[in-house]
C-alpha cells in the first residue's frame, strides 16, 4: 500500500495541495495549502480551515478515523475531495478541488492524469514483483498442493492486476492501444471468481459462477478483467451476510453477455443516474472510480452496460459483440515459449551486474538470474555500480536511479570498457537526449514477467555481443 511519503511525493509532483503531520503538532504543507490553513497547528485544524468546516465536522472526523484504521480514506469535504493517508505517526491529506473554473479544471484533469500515471506505474511495479516471486516459488518444485494452489491464485490475481495497471498507465500516458486479440472470457471469469472467493467467504456471501466453456470475445484482456473484477467485487461488498452473488456468462451468435447479480439493498432512485459518474460513491471509504472504470472498459470492448433492480438486489448486465464479428479468421501463431528453457544464450556462469534502487526489484532480478546459474553483483546506485570491481558479461540498469540516469551510468561503464551487453529497465520511454554511448542493446519495459526477463537475457547473451572491454551501442 502507498505510504504517506509516497502521497507527499505524488502531490508535489502534480501540484495538489497537501497537509502533512508527524504526530499531531509538526505540520508541513506546500504553498497552496499554506495559504488556506493559516495558523492551524494540528492536522484536524488545518483541514478544517482549508475546507471551511468545523474541527468536529462528522465527515472530517470520519475521514481521519477511517484513515487511522485502514491506512487511507477519501471523502468530499466542502469544495474538496480529500484523500487521507496514515502511516504510523505520519499522516497526510491531499486536497483536490471539486469545482473549478474552466482553465483550472483543465489543469486539475491534467494533474489527475499525471497522478493516475504515477500511481499506475508504482502499482504495476509492485504487482510485477509479487508475480515474479510467486512464479519463482511455484517453479521451485518443493511445495505441497495446497501451497501451490495458493501461489497459483496469487499469480493469477497479480497477473490480472498487473496487466490492468499497465493498461491504465498506457492510457494515462496517451498511448491508445487498440487490441483485437482473443479474450478467453470463460477462463478469465473463473480466475476472477476464484481469486475473490476468499473475500466472499470472509463476508459470509455465497459466490457462484454459471457459464458455458470456451466463450471468447475480442479486445484487450485488461479491459475484460476490469469489468469482471469490479462488478464481482462490488456485488460481494453490497451483499449482506448469508446472501448470494451470481456471476453468469453466456453467448449466442449475436452477443456475449456477462451478468452479475447481488442481493444487496439496491440502488436508490435518486442515485441511478450517477452510478457511472467518476468519483461518485455512496460507500464510506469508496473512491467512486470502480464503475467509471468499468464503463470505460466496456466502451473499449465495443460493449454496452446497464443495470436493473431485481426482486432482491441489483443486476448489472454487459453485452459484447462475439469474437467472430470483430476478428477476421487467421492462422494461429505458434505458442509462446513458456518452458523456462533459454533458447539462445544462458546466464549460467556469466557475470551480471544489476543496478536498481528498488530493493524488491533488485532482489527479484538477483534471485531469478542466480537460479539460472549467473554470478550476480548488485548495486543500489550509480556510485555503487562504478565502485564495483571486475568485468561483466551483462548489465541490467534501472533508468531512474536516485543519483543518476541509467543511460548516463551505462555511458560511464562503457568508457571504462568493463561490460558486454546492456539492458535498460524502465516503465518510461527512452529520453530524447540519450547519447549513442548510453543507448542500451535492449529496452526491458517495466512491468515485466520473469519469462520476458529470461528471454531478453537469453537474446543478449546468445547474440553477437561485445566482449567486456568493448564499448557497445546499437
For 253-312, the pLDDT digits (tens) are 889 999 999 999 998 888 888 888 876 676 665 556 678 888 888 988 999 999 999 989
**b/e per residue, 65-77, with b = 16+ CB within 10 A?**
ebbeeebbbbbbb
Same domain membership, residue 414 and residue 320: no
Task: Determine, yes or no, domain membership for 319.
Answer: yes
Co-location of 13 and 88 in the same domain: yes
Report the C-alpha gap between 415 and 472 in whole angstroms.
10
Tell me which of 294, 328, 362 is where a domain ends: 328
* Bond preceding residue 78 cis, omega within 30 of 0: no
Domain edge (last residue) among 328, 360, 375: 328
> Where does a domain end: 99, 133, 153?
99
225 and 166 in a common domain? no
User: In this structure, are 49 and 114 located in the same domain?
Assistant: no
Does 471 fall in a domain?
Answer: no
What is the torsional sign of CA 233, 158, 340, 169?
positive
pLDDT of residue 225: 86
Cβ atoms of 450 and 132 closer than 8 Å: yes
Considering the domain architecture, whether residues 168 and 191 belong to the same structural domain is answered as no
Residue 162 shares a structural domain with residue 255: no
> How far apart are the C-alpha atoms of 322 and 341, rounded to whole Å?
36
User: Same structural domain for residues 188 and 322?
Assistant: yes
Query: What pLDDT, on the 0 to 100 scale, is given for residue 320?
Result: 94
Give pLDDT, residue 465: 39
What's the predicted TM-score (pTM) here?
A: 0.48
| Domain ranges, residue 383 | 351-462
Q: What is the pLDDT of residues 164-215, one digit of tens each?
A: 666 665 555 555 455 567 888 998 898 888 888 888 998 999 999 998 778 8
CATH number of the domain enclosing 439 = 3.40.50.2300
Q: Is residue 275 one of the residues assigned to a domain?
A: yes
Which residues does the chain have with pLDDT short of 70? Answer: 1-15, 23-40, 98-129, 131, 140-141, 157-180, 279-280, 282-289, 324-345, 427-432, 447, 463-474
C-alpha cell, 53: 468546516
- Residues 187 and 169 placed together within one structural domain of the fold: no
SS3 sequence, 108-175?
Answer: HHHHHHHHHHHHHHHHHHHHHHHHHHHHHHHHCCCCCHHHHHHHHHHHHHHHHHHHHHHHHHHHHCCC
CA angle (104, 105, 107) in 5-degree steps: 65
Amino acid at each position: 500500500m502507498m505510504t504517506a511519503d509516497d502521497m507527499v511525493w505524488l502531490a508535489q509532483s502534480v501540484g495538489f495541495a497537501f497537509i502533512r503531520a508527524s504526530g499531531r503538532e509538526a505540520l508541513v504543507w506546500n504553498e497552496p495549502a499554506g495559504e488556506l490553513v493559516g495558523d492551524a497547528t494540528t492536522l484536524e485544524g488545518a483541514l478544517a480551515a482549508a475546507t471551511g468546516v468545523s474541527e468536529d465536522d462528522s465527515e472530517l472526523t470520519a475521514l481521519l478515523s477511517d484513515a487511522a484504521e485502514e491506512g487511507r480514506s477519501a471523502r468530499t469535504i466542502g469544495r474538496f475531495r480529500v484523500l487521507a493517508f496514515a502511516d504510523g505517526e505520519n499522516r497526510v491529506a491531499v486536497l483536490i478541488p471539486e469545482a473549478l473554473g474552466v482553465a483550472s479544471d483543465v489543469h486539475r484533469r491534467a494533474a489527475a492524469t499525471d497522478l493516475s500515471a504515477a500511481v499506475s506505474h508504482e502499482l504495476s511495479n509492485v504487482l510485477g514483483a509479487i508475480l515474479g516471486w510467486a512464479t519463482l516459488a511455484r517453479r521451485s518444485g518443493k511445495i505441497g498442493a495446497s501451497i501451490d494452489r495458493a501461489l497459483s491464485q496469487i499469480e493469477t490475481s497479480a497477473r490480472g492486476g498487473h496487466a490492468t495497471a499497465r493498461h491504465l498507465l498506457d492510457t494515462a500516458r496517451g498511448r491508445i492501444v487498440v487490441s483485437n486479440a482473443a479474450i478467453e472470457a470463460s477462463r478469465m471469469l473463473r480466475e476472477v471468481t476464484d481469486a475473490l472467493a476468499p473475500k466472499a467467504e470472509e463476508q459470509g456471501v455465497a459466490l457462484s459462477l454459471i457459464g458455458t466453456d470456451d466463450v471468447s470475445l475480442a479486445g484487450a484482456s485488461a479491459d475484460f478483467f476490469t469489468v469482471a473484477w469490479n462488478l464481482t467485487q462490488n456485488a460481494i461488498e453490497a451483499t449482506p451476510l448469508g446472501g448470494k452473488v451470481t456471476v453468469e456468462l453466456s453467448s449466442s451468435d449475436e452477443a456475449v453477455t456477462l451478468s452479475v447479480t447481488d442481493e444487496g439493498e439496491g440502488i436508490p432512485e435518486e442515485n441511478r443516474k450517477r452510478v457511472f459518474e467518476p468519483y461518485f460513491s455512496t460507500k464510506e471509504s469508496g473512491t467512486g472510480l470502480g464503475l467509471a472504470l468499468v464503463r470505460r472498459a466496456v466502451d473499449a470492448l465495443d460493449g454496452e452496460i446497464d443495470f436493473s433492480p431485481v426482486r432482491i438486489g441489483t443486476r448489472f448486465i454487459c453485452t459484447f459483440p462475439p469474437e467472430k464479428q470483430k476478428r477476421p479468421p487467421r492462422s494461429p501463431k505458434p505458442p509462446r515459449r513458456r518452458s523456462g528453457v533459454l533458447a539462445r544464450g544462458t546466464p549460467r556462469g556469466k557475470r551480471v551486474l544489476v543496478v536498481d534502487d528498488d530493493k524488491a526489484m533488485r532482489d527479484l532480478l538477483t534471485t531469478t538470474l542466480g537460479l539460472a546459474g549467473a554470478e550476480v553483483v548488485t548495486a543500489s546506485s550509480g556510485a555503487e555500480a562504478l565502485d564495483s570491481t571486475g568485468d561483466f558479461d551483462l548489465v541490467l540498469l534501472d533508468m531512474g536511479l536516485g543519483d543518476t540516469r541509467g543511460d548516463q551510468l551505462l555511458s560511464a561503464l562503457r568508457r571504462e570498457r568493463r561490460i558486454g551487453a546492456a539492458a535498460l529497465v524502465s516503465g518510461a520511454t527512452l529520453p530524447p537526449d540519450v547519447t549513442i554511448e548510453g543507448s542500451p542493446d535492449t529496452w526491458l519495459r517495466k512491468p515485466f514477467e520473469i519469462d520476458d526477463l529470461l528471454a531478453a537475457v537469453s537474446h543478449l547473451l546468445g547474440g553477437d555481443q561485445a566482449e567486456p572491454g568493448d564499448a557497445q551501442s546499437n
